[in-house]
Amino acid sequence: MAIPQTKMELRPLGNTGLKVSAVGFGASPLGSVFGPVAEDDAVATVREAFRLGINFFDTSPYYGATLSEKMLGKALKALQVPRSDYIVATKCGRYEEGFDFSAERVRKSIDESLERLQLDYVDILHCHDIEFGSLDQIVSETIPALQKLKQEGKTRFIGITGLPLDIFTYVLDRVPPGTVDVILSYCHYGVNDSALLDLLPYLKSKGVGVISASPLAMGLLTEQGPPEWHPASPELKSACKAAVGHCKSKGKKITKLALQYSLANKEISSVLVGMSSVSQVEENVAAVTELEGLGIDKETLSEVEAILEPVKNLTWPSGIPQ
């Protein structure tokens, strides 16, 4: 039975021809990465996301040691809608047991992922956190292996993900044009760090679609604060905490402001947000709707930007759980 859907803004993803929802569903929390999530809750969360117009779902075998893929697979199947109604991205190369970007592991990886997701193909297959491997191996071995999988119809498009922005130019400058369709960057397009902005013209010139994840900087821009393992410096954590406190004192939610800031740039096709409950889905979709209608709260945004100015674009070394 068709699920009546609310319209959400769909944005073109580079030259892929795909149109992805402005907010994408980050499925890592379905792997109980941030706390236990029951199967019924996972199914209800995905269903509500789909009903409210989210058509783009992102996962990885690394999230929850394959649990995220399994849960997302069950939830998508439960929708009982045509496969063409939703877009799924998964990843390869990063696993609970470590990194392996070899052609052999990539080939095995997609077959395992498709089985867990209960799908015949994924729309995007990313090399996951490539800065942990040899970038030359990514160029000469991993991406050619992904191209073969694309020819076989196991993935429609190829992507790369990671934290340092220079990994994207390194790879894209060394592969034939049109080889890599999408990049997924995280923690570099938010109120505290918008370094991705400088890379957008280059990515556009290459015809590469841009997905940005973690607009809340992996918990820095939330009232509960970042997890203990968060690698940000004390200075960055302290400034973000002050920004959160400022919003709270005004009765504003920094999570909404941060998400809206990331969504406002239409050059970014989709902003991925981790979700594990119906209420989170509703809150995120409400932020989009409000942005389209009332626009962003400019006064609070400028106050928050002033607080964060001393730490703007201050990142951290890669090498963290993600």
For 105-149, give the DSSP string.
HHHHHHHHHHHHHT-S-EEEEEEP-GGGS-HHHIIIIIHHHHHHH
Choosing from 63, 95, 186, 261, the catalytic residue is 63
Sign of the CA dihedral with 27 first, then 131, 105, and 156 last: positive
Please determine, for residue 80, whether its predicted confidence score (pLDDT) is greater than 90: yes
Tell me the C-alpha distance between 274 and 25, whole Å.
Answer: 6
Please determine, for residue 85, whether its predicted confidence score (pLDDT) is greater than 80: yes
> Quick check: 283 and 254 in contact, CB under 8 A?
no
Quick one: pLDDT at residue 228?
A: 86
Q: Where are the beta strands (DSSP E) in the chain?
A: 10-12, 19-21, 23-26, 56-58, 87-92, 94-95, 98-99, 122-127, 155-162, 182-186, 209-213, 270-274
Q: Name the pLDDT band for 316 (thresholds 50, 70, 90).
A: confident
**Distance, C-alpha 213 to centroid of its chain:** 4
DSSP H helix total and E strand total for the chain: 11, 12
Q: Tell me the pLDDT tens digit for each residue of 113-154.
A: 999 999 999 999 999 999 999 999 999 999 999 999 999 999
Quick one: pLDDT at residue 241?
A: 97
Average pLDDT in the chain:
94
Please determine, for residue 11, whether its predicted confidence score (pLDDT) is greater than 90: yes
Phi, psi of 178 (to 5 degrees): 85, 0
Tell me the C-alpha distance between 109 and 144, whole Å.
Answer: 15
Please determine, for residue 34, whether its predicted confidence score (pLDDT) is greater than 90: no
Please determine, for residue 320, whether its predicted confidence score (pLDDT) is greater than 50: no
Quick one: pLDDT at residue 35?
A: 79
Quick one: pLDDT at residue 322?
A: 36
Q: Tell me the pLDDT tens digit for each residue of 285-313.
A: 999 999 999 999 999 999 999 999 999 99
Percent of the chain whose predicted confidence (pLDDT) is above 70: 97
Q: Is 95 designated active site?
A: no
Please determine, for residue 319, whether its predicted confidence score (pLDDT) is greater than 60: no
Sign of the CA dihedral with 261 first, then 263, 265, and 268 last: positive
Quick one: pLDDT at residue 321?
A: 38
Q: Name the pLDDT band for 2 (thresholds 50, 70, 90).
A: low
Quick one: pLDDT at residue 191?
A: 97
Quick one: pLDDT at residue 317?
A: 81
Q: Tell me the pLDDT tens digit for each residue of 246-276.
A: 999 999 999 999 999 999 999 999 999 999 9
Tell me the C-alpha distance between 71 and 57, whole Å.
Answer: 12
Tell me the C-alpha distance between 306 and 222, whole Å.
Answer: 18
Quick one: pLDDT at residue 4?
A: 64
Please determine, for residue 224, whether its predicted confidence score (pLDDT) is greater than 80: yes
